[in-house]
């Protein structure tokens, strides 16, 4: 919505507020006011992609009705408040991509902690500066968490064995930290796990045996210091595996041929190990296989693939469905738990586009199509996809449409395919009204042509009316006409010199318009933020004309308003125009008399709106 500035503490006065979504307003800065804790009925707080800074207020823990808390991609700093542990109904917690520091808070005595969030399904704390150990107390068999994302922090110490108690887990990302010690053996109890990422730590000891994790799609244990070991035989039993990342993990010996027979296997990364012998991919390799990286090993022989696969060369573009010449809602979708790294397989992105369209259809939004493009993996291991949502029936979305789209994408209404895992959106600023130098669509041309015809007809009618009135009142108004005695055949033929006319400089115009303030823009009021489109402004003009016709033709006696200006045109709740303020009005000039009456009906003040036409 292009909001800027700081969030006022007055927000705390909205005691009945249930949803507060200010996402993707990058110019909203400053601290989150402590008064946020007064919103006792708040169930959803989404501030994704703003510019808030400072500590997360401790008062946020008093929002007992809160189900959804997303403070993603801001500049919050300081520790995670212990009080968040009081949010017993919380379903979704996302503090990703901030500057939070300190340890992960757990309860102690009367002090709350994150271990009390037994109903919370999403723990997203990645891309911060958290330090210290992962508290064993954080996990228990009573938890219902499905996502634990602690990646890209400064966490140290061992991985607590209590994590193996949370058997509802589907995604665990502890990569890019400073964790050490052995991986707990009971991690294989997580039978529902789809993704396990432990890479780029200092883990030691034996590589964990993951036998029985039959739903595992993505396994990344690279860049650790495990004990030197033979190639684990259990790897060949993971039938759902799509991506295997085991670079720099002290593996040695030959690679069993049946590894490449896993039916869904796409990516194999095992560079910088001690693997040797003959690489035998066999004749029964997966038809999904796309890439094998065995650089810096001791492979001596290679049995070539027979039959061959079509290897997709990634070009950086993903084909979209259909795109119109319009102004799309744009942003970057970041997916934080990929089960596959086959970026060249466009069918995956087409599936996401279809899921997005299914999300928008129930809301009756005028969405024509959705496009995803430019898939990239950033330094944090997140997949970024450029998103464009195109409007239908118009060249751009209005504010309501943008609000609904943003809410759907920031409040989990959109559920991507399971392969993509949790996500967040960083939306671009959407310009609702700015023009474009692109070719105008035929619908816009037709609208302008029809509107121009109507305007021309109104001007013709107005001209006839003015001519008729001028003829009737010629004698009565002659004395007040500054052009009455002007003869174009006399003098130098120039225009008459009007008293009071003058030229304004640019600086004067700038001063008088308050630096060309938008409050003076055509189509918007000085105080109101409701913007009228072309048809709305036309309806106001027609309504004003009807009021003037009534005053001039049907009122008894007829009335000349004498003070028509925008501030004297009132709009009702349906934006119908009403002529107001008759303080300077006079009875209509009688064409049968040679004088102008000065009698005024009423006093020289604004009349009550109850009497407006």
Residue 450 token pair: 């029809």
What DSSP line would sit under 99-164, residue for residue?
EEEEPPP--BTTB--GGG-TT--EEE--SSEEEEE--GGG--TT---SEEE--SSEEEEPPPGGGG
Largest CA distance in the chain: 117
What whole-number distance in Å separates Cα of residue 554 and Cα of residue 175? 81
Active site includes 563? yes
Q: At what angle do helices 442-472 and 534-549 cross, to 10 degrees?
A: 20
What DSSP line would sit under 57-104, residue for residue?
PGGGGG-TT--EEE--SSEEEEPPPGGGGG-TT--EEE--SSEEEEPP
In the set 563, 572, 581, 590, the catalytic residue is: 563
Residue 294 token pair: 């065995």
Contact 75, 53 (CB under 8 A): yes
**Nearest CA-CA partner of 115 in 45, 172, 166:** 166
**Which residue pairs from 588-596 have beta carbons closer than 8 angstroms and sit at least 24 positions apart in sequence?**
588/552, 588/557, 588/558, 588/559, 588/560, 589/473, 589/476, 589/477, 589/560, 590/476, 591/472, 591/473, 591/475, 591/476, 593/476, 594/475, 594/476, 595/476, 596/476, 596/477, 596/480
- Give the residue numbers marked as catalytic: 563
């Amino acid at each position: 919505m292009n909001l800027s500035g700081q969030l006022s503490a007055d927000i705390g006065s909205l005691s009945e507020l249930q949803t507060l979504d200010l996402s993707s307003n990058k110019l909203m800065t400053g601290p989150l006011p402590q008064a946020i804790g007064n919103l006792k009925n708040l169930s959803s707080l989404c501030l994704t992609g703003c510019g808030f800074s400072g500590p997360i207020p401790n008062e946020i823990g008093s929002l007992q009705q809160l189900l959804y808390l997303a403070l993603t991609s801001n500049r919050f700093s300081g520790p995670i408040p212990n009080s968040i542990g009081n949010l017993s109904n919380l379903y979704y917690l996302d503090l990703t991509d901030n500057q939070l520091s300190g340890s992960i808070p757990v309860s102690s005595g009367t002090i709350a902690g994150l271990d009390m969030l037994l109903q919370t399904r999403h723990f997203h704390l990645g891309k911060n500066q958290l330090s210290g150990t992962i508290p064993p107390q954080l996990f228990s068999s009573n938890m219902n968490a499905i996502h634990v994302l602690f990646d890209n922090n400064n966490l140290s110490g061992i991985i607590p064995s209590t994590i193996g108690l949370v058997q509802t887990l589907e995604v665990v990302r502890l990569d890019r930290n400073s964790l050490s010690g052995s991986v707990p053996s009971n991690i294989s109890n997580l039978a529902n796990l789809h993704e396990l990422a432990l890479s780029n730590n200092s883990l030691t000891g034996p590589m964990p045996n993951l036998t029985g994790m039959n739903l595992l799609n993505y396994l990344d244990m690279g860049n650790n210091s495990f004990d030197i070991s033979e190639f684990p035989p259990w790897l060949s039993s993971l039938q759902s595996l799509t991506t295997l990342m085991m670079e720099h993990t002290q593996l040695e010996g030959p690679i069993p041929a049946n590894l490449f027979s896993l039916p869904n296997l796409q990516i194999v990364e095992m560079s910088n190990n001690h693997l040797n012998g003959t690489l035998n991919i066999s004749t029964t390799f997966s038809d999904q296989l796309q890439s094998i990286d065995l650089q810096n090993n001791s492979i001596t022989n290679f049995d070539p693939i027979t039959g061959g696969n079509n290897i997709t060369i990634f070009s950086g573009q993903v084909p979209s469905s259909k795109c119109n010449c319009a102004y799309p809602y744009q942003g970057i979708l970041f997916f934080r738990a990929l089960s596959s790294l086959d970026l060249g397989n466009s069918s995956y992105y087409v599936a996401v586009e279809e899921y997005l369209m299914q999300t928008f259809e129930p809301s009756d939004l005028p969405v024509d199509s959705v496009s995803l493009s430019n898939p990239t993996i950033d330094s944090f291991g997140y997949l970024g996809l450029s998103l464009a949502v195109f409007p239908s029936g118009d060249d751009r979305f209005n504010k309501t449409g943008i609000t609904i789209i943003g809410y759907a994408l920031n409040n989990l209404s959109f559920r991507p395919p399971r392969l993509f895992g949790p996500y967040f959106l960083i939306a671009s600023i959407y310009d609702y009204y700015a023009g474009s130098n692109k070719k105008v669509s035929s619908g816009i041309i037709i609208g302008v042509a029809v509107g121009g015809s109507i305007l021309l007809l109104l001007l013709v009618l107005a001209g006839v009316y003015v001519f008729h009135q001028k003829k009737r009142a010629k004698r009565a108004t002659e004395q007040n006409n500054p052009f009455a005695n002007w003869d174009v055949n006399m003098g130098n033929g120039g225009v008459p010199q009007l008293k009071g006319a003058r030229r304004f400089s640019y600086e004067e115009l700038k001063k008088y318009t308050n630096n060309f303030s938008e409050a003076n823009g055509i189509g918007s009021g000085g105080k109101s933020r409701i913007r009228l489109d072309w048809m709305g402004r036309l309806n106001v003009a027609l309504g004003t004309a009807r009021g003037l016709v009534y005053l001039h033709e049907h009122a008894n006696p007829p009335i000349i308003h004498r003070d028509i200006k925008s501030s004297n045109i009132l709009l009702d709740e349906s934006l119908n125009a009403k002529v107001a303020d008759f303080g300077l009005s006079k009875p209509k000039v009688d064409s049968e008399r040679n004088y102008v009456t000065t009698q005024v009906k009423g006093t020289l003040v604004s009349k009550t709106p109850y009497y407006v036409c």
